[in-house]
Structure 1
Amino acid sequence: MDGMGRLVPAVTRAFDILELFLEGDGTLSAPEVTRKLRLPRTTVHELLTTLAARSYLVTIPEQPGRYRLGVRTYQLGSRYAEQLDLAAEGQRVAREVAETCDETVHVAILEDADVIYIAKVDSTHAVRMVSAAGRRLPAHCTAVGKMLLASLPAAELDARIEGRELAGMTPHSLTDPAELRAALSAVRERGVASEHRESNPDVSCVAAPVRDSAGRVVAALSVSVPMIRWSEDREAELSDLAVKGAGDLSARLGHRGAR
């Protein structure tokens, strides 16, 4: 490995063992570890004993011979979570996505019936955008907003849109509650959201959900494209890119689901 020092086999094996506990029901026996990693039984026994002595693993009293993750792994994970900054992580991922497609990328969160943009990376092309980091826009007019609204439980969605005037930002904005609900249903089926000239008359956008370690949708990542560069093929391409970017950001937040 160029530019890297030698990996220590024992440490690598110890981490291989710990990562096995991310699968299945989170419990394993020494024979199962031996089989999965194809390591000598003596080596596995020594590693399990060492990890248990340091509280990275613990034996299960009611299941002799089986292990689960110990409190030390929780302490490390909690410290990692404390240091997470959604806006900073979002900005990093948005930059990576923007470098791939050279379009404008946003990350936004939902607050009441609005979205707040917490990260934005501009395209190198000069494009007039109504969004900006820190700006608030009506959720129903944006792809990120539709993605976030569609992810809400039914009761929460009702509370945010019922009895509310859905003001439009352009003539293409969805201002009828029934039309919005139909659009949100389509978003749930597709797993991605889109808007065409609904927040900006010259721009279309696609968005995908960002999930935290518990699987909750906490943000959405979008790619915005001027209509002069928009097509069905481009929409499909950027939808895939938004899903990948949102998956990368979710992974940084500790989400382990399929991307």
Structure 2
Amino acid sequence: MLFDTHVHLNARQFKEDVEEVIARAHNKGVKQMVVVGFDNETIPLAIDIAEKHANIYAAVGWHPVDAIDYKEEHLSMLEKLSDHEKVVALGEMGLDYHWDTSPKDVQENVFRKQIQLARRVNMPIIIHNREATSDVIHILQEENAKDIGGIMHCFSGNITEMEACLEMNFYISLGGPVTFKNAKEVKEVAKVIPIDRLLIETDAPYLAPHPYRGKRNEPAFVTLVAEQIATLREMKYEELCHITTENAKKVFRINN
């Protein structure tokens, strides 16, 4: 059994066939997923999908790319939704220095407010980080994110950066890029992540693994991520599936 810890079934790319996508995932053994909502459009859809499916959960947050559109009422909305029975984390939140849509100081402000909210409601957080690793780690340290922990989504840092995240009580989640031939650094990280802190994800419809790179990703493809990591770690695929599923249930506080 597999747990895709980060998927966007609420994305427009799945508008026409989301139920078929979920069925294909189940047929591949992907029994549990977390659908991530990150703006006014995707948050209600994440909740809706989670409510319709017993083993699908939601995470809600405000994406750094959209930080420029953030208003105080959004934080109130996130706080209210944090009490929803199917919401298991806050996020994705963080910093994105690749897309020049929101000023860095605005991103930081929205990031810090969400960490503070997560501490108030005692929920794990899901971190989006693109080309901003040192600043992300610095902010997490300053805001005492260690108290709640969470997930470094689609981790792309090096071993030293991984260790800094582990020290703050974070799990390391790997996705499609670990299957790319030129992704040497993330493959090295995959080999040494403490097994009790390893998670897997697709980030579907984005970042499809090899051999689907460049095409629409979907949660069924998390099997390819698991296979690659099992090979890199020289362990049985079934064992990796079991351990990463148990890790996901632990960080999200899911008992079934």
TM-score (norm: length of structure 1)? 0.29
Higher relative contact order (CA 8 A, sep 6+): 2
Q: Which has the larger radius of gyration?
A: 1
